[in-house]
Structure formats: C-alpha cells, structure tokens
Structure 1
Amino acid sequence: MKEIQHLFGDLKETVCSEDNLTVLGLLQEKAFEEFEKNCQTETWLGLSFSLLVILISAITVVFLVKKYRVHVDYIILNLRSRWKGIYSVESGDFQFDAFISYAEDDYRIVSTILYQTLTKKGFQISFPDKDFIPGISKADELLRFVNKSRKVVFVVTENFLDNGWNSYAVQMVVTHSFHNDRKQSIIVIIKDDIAIKRMPKDLRYIWWSIVSIRWPETTELIEQFWDELDYALKSVE
C-alpha cells in the first residue's frame, strides 16, 4: 500500500481505528514500527493470558482429582458395577453381618481371634484374605464386599496407620456410607492404645457417627469387649 499510495486519493482523510492516525501517517516508517510493536504486544498479551488460563485450569483439575481421587474412584466403580449388573443390595438383605478391614500384619488377630469368635457367636464375617478373588482389583472387591455387609469393622493398629492402602479403604468406606445413608455402619476397634487424634482424618470427621471400641489390655476386660462388639454388630442403623 505504501508503494502505490499515489493511487489512493483519500489517504489523508482515512483514519486507522487502532491508533487514531491517518493511514497516510501510519505509512511513515517510524509510525508503522510503533504500530507493529503495539499489535505484537496485544497479540502476545492475549496469547499469554490464554496460556495462563489453560495452565491454571490444568493445575486446578489435577489438584481436585488428586484431592477427591477416592470420590472419583467410587463413582467409576459404581458405574462399572452397574454396567456389570451388580447393584446395591436392599436394606436388610445383606450377605454378611460385617466386613473387617485391617493391616496385613494383623492378619492373625483377625483370622484366629475376631473371625473365629464372631463366627461362633453366629455372625457371618467377611474379610479380604478370605473372600477377595485374586486377580480382581482390590478397590472393586472392597466396594463389592462392603456393599454386601451390614457393618464395616476397622481394626486400627500401628500397622494399620502405616499402610497407605488402609487410608484409601477408610475413605472409600466413608464415601460409600454417606452416599447410601449408612453413617451408623462403621465400627472401629482401637488397638495399641492409639489416641483418637491419630485416627485417619476421614474417621475423625465422622467420629460422632461411628462406634469405637478399645481392644482390651487385660484378660479381665475381654468379655466386656466381646459384649460391646456383639451389641454394635447387632444394632440397627
């Protein structure tokens, strides 16, 4: 346009809307360089702002997914169960009286003490080493057997607190109980004289709605322990 400006008769009257200059004035080398810089600045500003928005959005999504990972997993597992034709059981139609969650190092306590004693009392008890099917996701199996059980019992020991999977299991069970209006279905057996403030935070948040029982330190208190656990397992939510 600069080369053939003599062909335009109204350049002096034509105003550039971007810079309030006449087109003729804009064709001056210095004026055009300044105009070009302004255009580039606005372009980069717009591009930078767009990239910043995308970056913040990506970080926010990653943060939310990480923070609410269990909730996302719970929804996915439920959808997968529905797709497979596995639905939530109706109230009063549970296969087990309780599902027991524990640390692997506490297997002996669960299998030889809790399971045998509660079974003799007539309770139907489920726990991972007895009922989980090898080769299937532990998260899938956890939700499946929690869904089949009236109560969920956590055996909280030092081993339990040190295990990351148990933290995941607690979050999954708490999420399940609130989604299905079963807030009174969780029982916590506290061993190793663990203080409540050291409990998994998801349990502390709903401490008002769960039943907590201390594992007896002496044999004199063992009968009282079994009576409390018996009552908790039989109680209606």
Structure 2
Amino acid sequence: MSLSKATLFIKGNPINCECTHVSSLKWLRENQDKFGDLNETYCIDIKEMSISNFFQEASFVQFELRCQTKEWLIASSIMLFLVITVVLVPVVIKRYRVHVDYIILRLRSRWRGVMRTMYSQSFQFDAFVSYAEEDYQLACNTFYQVLRNRGLKISLPDKDFIPGLSKVEQMLQCIDDSRKVVFIVTEKFLENGWSSYNVQMVVTHAFHNKRERSIIVIIKDDIPIERMPRDLKFVWWSIINIRWPHCEENMEFFWDEITAALLPNT
C-alpha cells in the first residue's frame, strides 16, 4: 500500500485552533481527505465543534478574518507606538534639553571625580557673574572693577574660562567655586539664546544642590519682572533682585547693596 494513499487517524490528539497555528490549520484543511476521523477530533479550545465542522467554509473564513483582525491590531499598535516614540522623543529631549545635559554632565563629572558632593562654607570666589556677550564692557570694566576694588573676588567667563573646553562644564565648576551667582539682566541678555540656556542650567544646578537662594539678579534698562526668563521667575521668591539705578548719585548705594548681598551670611 502506497503511503500517499494512507489514511491518518488523529482522534485524541491535542489540536490547537488558535490564531498562532493558522498556517498548520490551513494545511490540515487543504489535506483533510488524508484524515479519517476529523469528525471525531476536536480543538482543545473549542470542545463543542469537531475539526470537520470547524473546517467548513463559513466557520473557517470567520476564523481567518478574526485572526487577520488580531494581526492587524497588533501591527497597528506597534506602528502607532513607534510613530509616537519617534515624534515624542525629540520633543521631550528639546523641552528638557537642559535637564538631560545636566544629568549627562553630572555623570561625566562624577565619573572623572571632579564634581563636589558636599558644599563647604569656604569658596574661591564671592560670585560668578553671567552676562550677555554684548555687555562685556559693562560686566568686565564696570561691574568687575568696582567690586574687585571693594575686596570681592569675582569669577567671569571671559576671565576664568579656558578656550577649547566645554563652557557649560566650566560654568558649573565656577558656580561650585562661588558663593553667589549674579545675572546682569539687560535687553541684550534677554535676546541672547546662550544666556537663556545659561539661566536654565544655573537654576537646575542650584536646585539640585539646594542653592537657589544663592542667585542674585541685577536688572538694568527698566526691564519689568514679567520679561524675566521663565526659569528665573520660577525661583523669584528665593532670589535677591537689585535694580541698576539711572542717577549717578544713587550708584554708591547700589554698589553697597550688591557688596552686602555678596558677603558671607547674606
């Protein structure tokens, strides 16, 4: 007897009729003439219907459609997840760029062992001053010179930053070495994108190290508080803000106020 004409009996075998076995079920349906007891063989998950009835046109077409729907739903869900991920990840990174950069910097600095974990009461500088590049003369020739003549040690990007190294890393290191952080806020400062990033990084660093009360804001050009960078307004309750006077006769009091704010225990 030829094996090609042999009849197989599979009654009692566990036949799985779920969508995961649709290919095997299609083969079994196409070759059901080779089996002699499909009317007595049942799916393990459909006890009330024999395999021969399950393979009827109406039943099997409905089964295939149900499986296609599940496959489409799974594929659609995966595609939707990928699309959302591709769209949202850049948005989140852009929105929280400073926080991401800060975490990376801290991990890198900690790996190199150069970032402080504890803060003492002794600092190399009384203040680190942040300003727009266009305000170089104001910051370096006026602000810095007056405070230095009053015995204060001031750290400036143009004075203490080393060319070729990361500005952000050097800025955080100078902040760590300074008792206070001073922002000279002018119209140019508000227009300068780097200063905005600077503000966000300083505020993030200050909050992380519980030093938000070390921020001092010098406001020039009659700029209203409403126009302050959002990150500065967020901590406005904890910072010291001083207005740059219009009249020359008020300048001495202005310098006295800044000096007092920069001295220890203020």
TM-score by length of structure 2 reads: 0.81
In the alignment, which residue of structure 2 is the partner of 1:115? 144
Q: Where do residues 79-228 of structure 1 align in structure 2 (5 Å cutoff)?
A: 79-88=107-116, 90-228=119-257
- Classify 1:191/1:3 alpha carbon distance in 2 versus 1 (closer, same or farther; 3 Å): closer
In the alignment, which residue of structure 1 is the partner of 2:52? 24
Partner Cα distance (2:259, 2:73) in 1: 68
Bigger drift between 78-87 and 227-236 goes to: 78-87
Tell me which of 78, 102, 108 is aligned to 2:106: 78
In the alignment, which residue of structure 2 is the partner of 1:5? 32
Cα RMSD, aligned residues only: 2.2
Deviation at 1:58, TM superposition (A): 4.6
Highest CA radius of gyration, 1 or 2?
Answer: 2
Q: What letter matches 1:126 in structure 2?
A: S
Q: Deviations over 1:54-100 (max 9, x none)?
A: 43345444333322221221121122222223132732221111111
Tell me which of 64, 79, 82 is aligned to 2:92: 64
Deviation at 1:13, TM superposition (A): 3.7
What is the DSSP-based 3-state SS (H/G/I as helix, E as strand, rest coil) of the residue aligned with 1:12?
helix
The percentage of aligned residue pairs carrying the same residue is 54
Partner Cα distance (1:131, 1:2) in 2: 81
Q: What letter matches 1:150 in structure 2?
A: R
Partner Cα distance (2:165, 2:91) in 1: 28
In the alignment, which residue of structure 2 is the partner of 1:48? 76
Q: What letter matches 2:165 in structure 1?
A: I
- Classify 1:42/1:18 alpha carbon distance in 2 versus 1 (closer, same or farther; 3 Å): farther
Count of residue pairs the alignment pairs up: 237
Partner Cα distance (1:4, 1:203) in 2: 76
Bigger drift between 225-234 and 82-91 goes to: 82-91
Partner Cα distance (2:241, 2:77) in 1: 53
What is the DSSP-based 3-state SS (H/G/I as helix, E as strand, rest coil) of the residue aligned with 1:217?
coil
Partner Cα distance (1:235, 1:140) in 2: 25
Contact 1:19 / 1:35 at 8 angstroms: preserved in 2? no
Q: Give 5+ residue unaligned stretches, structure 2.
A: 1-27
TM-score by length of structure 1 reads: 0.91
